[in-house]
Amino acid sequence: MRIGLFVPCFVDALCPRAGIATVRLLERLGHEVRFAAGAVCCGQPAFNAGHWDLARPVAETCIAALDAVEADAIVCPSGSCAAFLRSHLAELLPDDPRAAAVAAKTFELGELLARRLALTDVGARFPARVVWHDACHALRALGLHDEPRRLLAAVRGLELVEAPGGAECCGFGGVFAVTHADVSTAIGEERAAALERTGADVIASSDPTCLMQLAGLLARRGWRGRALHLAEILAET
């Protein structure tokens, strides 16, 4: 399949390894990856903060590039950006006919694998104890709960554990992490501690922003584990 790749701004700048692992995984599975280099950001930071006028041109640039990549499906290694394109693009750009088409074929990575490609076992091997952190937008806007867990459960050598209390926010929240740094940190400390208590070597998630928040907090607690994107685990053989 021709799979377009959207690497959002913060993944590109702060967590490129999630994008690299996505490429390696999809190519190993026999797909052609077409990177939409012109798609920089979906526009979510400004949209969520209420500045739709600032978000609009950014989103327009993004969907023009995603549209031009001519792919059967588009993958994004961030549940939040995929959810944004799916849920809010039509509202932000009501007159752009490309918006609905791009939104309909854009998937978060685990979603693409499990739903679009109907895969469970991607042939990965990753011997570690892994706890899955549900990123809020992947969980609630995209409805992804069992999908990433099934993918991880099929990885050889991987032991999947759950954090007590179920899904809780990491406290990042985009611009919120800056404007409400103290509250963001307090929420994150709670979540990080719950994940740490599982005794997992690895915290995995579908959103690099959650992982950066959690890793940044756990680093101060002297945690020796790793925070990895789903792609980084599934790419390992």
Interacting residues toward other proteins by CB under 8 A: 7, 9-17, 19-20, 23, 35, 37-38, 40-41, 43, 45-52, 54-55, 57-58, 61, 65, 136-137, 140-141, 165, 168-169, 171-176, 179-190, 212-213, 215-217, 219-220
Q: How far is the CB of 143 from other proteins (least distance, A)?
A: 11
Q: How far is the CB of 28 from other proteins (least distance, A)?
A: 15
Cα–Cα distance between 110 and 94 in angstroms, integer? 28
Query: Which of these, 197, 194, 198, 205, lies nearest to 230 by C-alpha position?
Result: 205
Of 10 and 107, nearer to other proteins (C-beta) is 10
What is the per-residue burial (b if ≥16 Cβ within 10 Å, else e) of 198-233? eebebbbbbbbbbbbbbbebbeeeebebbbbbbbbb
Q: What is the DSSP string of 186-203?
A: HHHHHHHHHHHTTT-SEE
Cα–Cα distance between 98 and 93 in angstroms, integer? 9
Cα–Cα distance between 225 and 65 in angstroms, integer? 37
Q: How far is CA 105 from the centre of its chain?
A: 16
Of 110 and 188, nearer to other proteins (C-beta) is 188
Q: How far is the CB of 226 from other proteins (least distance, A)?
A: 14
Of 75 and 155, nearer to other proteins (C-beta) is 75
Q: How far is the CB of 171 from other proteins (least distance, A)?
A: 6
Of 43 and 155, nearer to other proteins (C-beta) is 43
Cα–Cα distance between 129 and 198 in angstroms, integer? 9
Of 9 and 158, nearer to other proteins (C-beta) is 9
Classify 44 as helix, strand or coil: helix
Of 33 and 119, nearer to other proteins (C-beta) is 33
Q: How far is the CB of 177 from other proteins (least distance, A)?
A: 8
Q: How far is the CB of 132 from other proteins (least distance, A)?
A: 16
